[in-house]
C-alpha cells in the first residue's frame, strides 16, 4: 500500500525527473527533524550531521527501489536509525525514551530491538535492499497493526491505544504498563490478549486463499516492536504535533499527543517537535543543506 502524501510524491517525482529544485526542497523539508533525531542519539554534533548526510545519500541510492511502503519521513528516519546503529556511535537503545528510563542499568541493552538487527553493512545499496526485504516481510503485519491502531483512534479509545503502544512499541512488561497508565495489570493483559487476537485474525484473513495454510501464526513481541518502529502506525502527524505545540487540538488528541511525546517519549516525534520549536537554528540547517547538496550532486546526475 502506498503511504506517500501528495507533497512527498511531488517531491520524489521532481527528484526522479531531475528537476533542479526537487532535491534541495526535499532536503530542506526533512533535514531539521532528522538532525534533531540524530542529535538525540549521538553526542557529537558533527557525527550527527555526518549521519544525516549519509541518510540522504542512502535515500538517493535506493531511490529506484523505494515504492512508498512507508511515508518518506518514516523511510528517512529508518535509514538514519540504522546508520546510527551501524556506526556504533549510539549505544543500542529503544526508540521510546520511557523504556530507556526504566532500564537504566544496561542489563538488557544488548537485547533491545536494535541489537537484533544484523551488524554493520558495507554499502548504502545493500542497505536499501535490506530495507526492501524487511518492508515486504513486515508489510502484512504492518497492515494488521495499522488497522488496530486506526480503530482505536477512530473511536477515541486512547486509553487502550496507550496500553498497546507501551506493550508493543516500548516493549514494557504488563506491570510497568499498568503503572505508567494507572491501570490494573490484569486489564493490561486483557488488552494485550485481545489485540494480539485481532492482529492474528487480520493475518489469517489475508492468508485465506493462499497455500500457506491456516495455522495460528505466532507473533513474537520483538517482531511487533520492529514493525512498529519501521512503520510508526501510532505516531501523530507532524501537523498534529504542530497543533499540540500551539495547544489547538481537541482535548482527547492533546492528551494523547502529550502522552506519546512526554510519557512514551517517541524519539521520532520528539525530533519533529524539536524541529518545529528550533526554527531559529536555521544557520546550522543551511550549512548542512549545502553539505548534503554538494555530496549528492554526483548521484543526481545518474537519475
Binding site for Zn ion (CB under 5 A): 235, 266, 268-269
Choose between 262 and 294: whose C-beta lies nearer to Zn ion.
262
Separation between Cα atoms, residue 230 and residue 79, nearest integer Å: 10
Question: Hunting for cell 520528539 — which residue is that?
Answer: 270
Neighbour-count burial for 63-92, b at 16+ CB within 10 Å, e otherwise: beebeebbbbbbbbbbbbbbbbbbeebbeb
Q: How far is the CB of 268 from Zn ion (least distance, A)?
A: 5
Q: How far is the CB of 169 from Zn ion (least distance, A)?
A: 8
Choose between 127 and 268: whose C-beta lies nearer to Zn ion.
268
Q: How far is the CB of 269 from Zn ion (least distance, A)?
A: 3
- In this structure, are residues 266 and 235 in contact, taking their beta carbons and an 8 Å threshold? yes
Q: How far is the CB of 260 from Zn ion (least distance, A)?
A: 6
Separation between Cα atoms, residue 147 and residue 300, nearest integer Å: 37
* Cα distances (angstroms) measured from residue 29 to each of 7, 32, 163, 282: 10, 7, 32, 12
Choose between 31 and 272: whose C-beta lies nearer to Zn ion.
272
Separation between Cα atoms, residue 235 and residue 264, nearest integer Å: 11
Choose between 188 and 269: whose C-beta lies nearer to Zn ion.
269
Choose between 95 and 141: whose C-beta lies nearer to Zn ion.
95
Residue 173 C-alpha cell reads as 512488561
Q: How far is the CB of 15 from Zn ion (least distance, A)?
A: 26
Amino acid at each position: 500500500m502506498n503511504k506517500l502524501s501528495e507533497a512527498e510524491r511531488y517531491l520524489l517525482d521532481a527528484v526522479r525527473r531531475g528537476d533542479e529544485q526537487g532535491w534541495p526542497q526535499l532536503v530542506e523539508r526533512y533535514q531539521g527533524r532528522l538532525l534533531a533525531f540524530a542529535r538525540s542519539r549521538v553526542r557529537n554534533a558533527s557525527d550527527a550531521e555526518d549521519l544525516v548526510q549519509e541518510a540522504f545519500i542512502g535515500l538517493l541510492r535506493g531511490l529506484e527501489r523505494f515504492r512508498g511502503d512507508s511515508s518518506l519521513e518514516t523511510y528517512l528516519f529508518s535509514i538514519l536509525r540504522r546508520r546510527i546503529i551501524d556506526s556504533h556511535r549510539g549505544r543500542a537503545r529503544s526508540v521510546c525514551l520511557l523504556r530507556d528510563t526504566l532500564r537504566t542499568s544496561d542489563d538488557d541493552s544488548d537485547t533491545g530491538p536494535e541489537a537484533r538487527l544484523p551488524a554493520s553493512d558495507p554499502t548504502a545499496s545493500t542497505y536499501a535492499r535490506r530495507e526492501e526485504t524487511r518492508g515486504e516481510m513486515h508489510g502484512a503485519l504492518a497492515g494488521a497493526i495499522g488497522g488496530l491502531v486506526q480503530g482505536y483512534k477512530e473511536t477515541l479509545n486512547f486509553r487502550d491505544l496507550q496500553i498497546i503502544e507501551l506493550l508493543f512499541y516500548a516493549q514494557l512488561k504488563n506491570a510497568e504498563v499498568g503503572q505508567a497508565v494507572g491501570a490494573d495489570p490484569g486489564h493490561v493483559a486483557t488488552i494485550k490478549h485481545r489485540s494480539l487476537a485481532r492482529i492474528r485474525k487480520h493475518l489469517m484473513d489475508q492468508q485465506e486463499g493462499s497455500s500457506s495454510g491456516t495455522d495460528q501464526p505466532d507473533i513474537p513481541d520483538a517482531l511487533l516492536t520492529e514493525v512498529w518502529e519501521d512503520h510508526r502506525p501510532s505516531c501523530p502527524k507532524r501537523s498534529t504535533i504542530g497543533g499540540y505545540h500551539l495547544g489547538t487540538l481537541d482535548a482527547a488528541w492533546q492528551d494523547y499527543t502529550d502522552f506519546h511525546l512526554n510519557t512514551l517519549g517517541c524519539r521520532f516525534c520528539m525530533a519533529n517537535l524539536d524541529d518545529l520549536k528550533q526554527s531559529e537554528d536555521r544557520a546550522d540547517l543551511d550549512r548542512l543543506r549545502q553539505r548534503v547538496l554538494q555530496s549528492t550532486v554526483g548521484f543526481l546526475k545518474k537519475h
